[in-house]
Structure 1
C-alpha cells in the first residue's frame, strides 16, 4: 500500500488551507469524490486544493461548507488563499497563474519582451525596474522569485504544450549588458531544444500583421472552453466570449504563417546570443532577404 504524503500546513497559506480541508473531509468520513458530488468540479481538482497546488473557487468553497457544515469557513478563507498564491504577481494576473496550471496548450505572442517563464533574474530585474522604478528591493526580489517559479511552463515535461511567436525586435533591443543578454538568449535556446515549446520569430520588417499590440495568449483546456488573455503595461484582461476567442485564434494562425519556421528562428536567437557574447549588436534581417540565406552569410 502506498503511504499517503502528509501536507505541511506551515509551508504556505494554500497548504494550511488544504490541510484543514482534508482534515474536515476525513473527519466527516467522505472521499474526494463524495465531497465534490453536486458541484461542477472533479475530485482531482479538490485533491490539488488539499495539496496546496490550486486555489479554491468560491463556488466550490460554498459547496464544501454546505456539505461539511463548516459555517462558511472555507468560503471566507478562499480569498486569503487567492491573495497568497498571487503574491509576487500583479492583481490582474493572479487568475492567469491558475489558468496556466490547468491549460493543455498555450499559444503566445510577445512583441516586446522574452516571456516571463523564460526570463533569468537580470532580465526580470530590468523589466521590473523599467515599469516600477521606485520599487523596494523586497518587492523586486518577490517578483523575481514569483516569475522564476513559473519556469516550469517551459521546462517541466508535464507542462502545457506551448507555441511561442516573438518579434525579432526582442533580439535586437538589448535591455541588458551584452554578456547578460547573451546568457539570456542562450537560455531561451537551451530550453527550446528540450522541445517543450515551439519558438517562431516574426521578422522586424514583416510589415502589418495581426496583434500589433501587447502580449496575447490563447489557452485551451481539456475540460473547459478556450480563453484569451491580453496584457498591457499595467493591466490585463481574460476574454472568454466564444466569438472573440475564435477571432483571436484565427488571427494567431495568420501570425504564425507570417513568422519564420521554428528551426530558422532558433538559429536566429542563437546567432543573436553569439553576437552579444562577442560584444556586437545583432543585425536584423534585411528587407527582401530570405532568413536562411542571411544566416549562412554571417
Structure 2
C-alpha cells in the first residue's frame, strides 16, 4: 500500500493549501501526473506542493483553478499562503502595510521592498541564508500586489544615493532594477526621490524607517534591527518620524531630478558592463 503523507489542514495556510489541492485533485479523479500534464508542470511538483515541501506560486494557483474549475479558490488561498512564508516578526508589519492609505519610507541600504524586482529581491534575501529562499521571494513579490489595486496606497520613497551604487546581484540585475524604478516616473501613486551623497549629514543617519498612515487608524512607524522589526504608534515617535521625513524630502532631489540621476547611474555604472566584468576577482 502506498504511504500517503497526511496533512493537518488546520496547521497552517500552506498545510491547508496542500490538503485542499489533494482533495480537489482526487475529487476530479486525477493522479498527480495527470493534473501536472493539464497545467504544464510535473507530477512531482504537484506532490511536493500537496505535502508542503514546495510553496506554490500565484501562477500555479491560477492554473489549478482553471483546470479544476474551483472558482478562484486557490487564487484566493495563495495570498494567505505566501504571507505566512514571511518571517513571523515581519508578518504584523506586512498586514499593516497592506491596509495603509499612505506609505512614506526612507531606505539607506536597499531599494524598498515594494519596488524591488524579483531578481534583486532574491539577491537581497539570499544574504540571510534562508531555508526557503524561493518562498521568501514569492512572498515579497506578493506584497507588491497592493500597488496594483484599483485604489493603491500613495507611496513616497526616498532612497539614499548609495542604494543606486551598491551592485546587489551584479550589474545586469542592478540595471534592470534601476530601469524598474524609472517606470514609476510620473506615476500617480508612487513617487521616488533620491537623497544625493552631497547632502552629507541628514535627518536619518540612524537608518531606514517606514511611516504608515491609515484612513481610520493611528499612524505607525516601523524600523528594523539585525534580526527583527519594531512598530509603534506612540504619538511622540510619530511626530518625530514625520519631522525627520519632511527634512529628508526637502534635502532629496525632486522626482524629476531623481529620475535623471537614476538614469545616469544606470547608464554609466551598469549600462555597458559585460558578464565577464561582473565576476569577482580572487
Q: Which range, TM-score by smaller chain? A: 0.5 to 0.7
How far the C-alpha of 1:240 sits from its partner, in A, is: 1.0
Match of 2:249, SS state, is: helix
Match of 1:272 in 2: 265
**1: CA distance, partners of 2:82 / 2:123:** 24
Match of 2:242 among 238, 249, 252: 249
Per the alignment, residue 108 of structure 2 pairs with 111
Assess, with a 3 A threshold, how the Cα gap between structure 1 residues 177 and 92 changes in structure 2: closer, same or farther. same
Question: How high is the TM-score relative to the length of structure 1?
Answer: 0.63
Choose which of 74, 92, 96 in structure 1 pairs with 2:93.
96
Give matches, 1:1-298, under 5 Å. Answer: 13=13, 86-132=83-129, 135-136=130-131, 139-275=132-268, 276-279=270-273
1:154–1:191 contact (8 Å) kept in structure 2: no
Change over 3 Å in CA distance of 1:242–1:164 after alignment to 2: same
2: CA distance between counterparts of 1:230 and 1:265?
Answer: 24
CA positional deviation for 1:129:
1.9
Q: Distance in 2 between matches of 1:173 and 1:147?
A: 20
- Superposed displacement of residue 157, structure 1: 4.1
Cα distance change of structure 1 residues 98 and 52 upon mapping to structure 2, 3 Å threshold: farther
Q: Say if 1:189 and 1:269, in contact at 8 Å, map to a contact too.
A: yes
Task: Measure the CA separation in 1 of the matches of 2:216 and 2:76.
Answer: 21
- Local SS of the residue matching 2:199: coil
Unmatched 5+ stretches in structure 2 = 1-8, 18-74, 275-282
CA shift for structure 1 position 112: 0.5
**What is the SS of the residue equivalent to 2:86?**
coil
Give the Cα–Cα distance (whole angstroms) in 2 for the partners of residues 218 and 176 of structure 1.
28
Counterpart of 2:183 in 1: which secondary structure? helix
Secondary structure of 1:205 counterpart: helix
Name the count of aligned residue pairs.
205
Q: TM-score, normalised by structure 2?
A: 0.66
Change (3 A) 1:113 1:99: same
* In 1: Cα distance, 2:146 partner to 2:198 partner: 30
Q: 2:160·2:197 contact (CA, 8 Å) conserved in 1?
A: yes
Does structure 1 retain, via aligned residues, the 8 Å contact 2:221–2:233? yes
Asked if the contact 2:220/2:233 (under 8 Å) is kept, the reply is yes
Unpaired runs of at least 5, structure 1: 1-8, 18-50, 56-80, 281-298
Is residue 194–residue 252 contact of structure 2 (8 Å, CA) maintained in 1?
A: yes
**Contact persistence 2:184–2:191 (CA under 8 A):** no
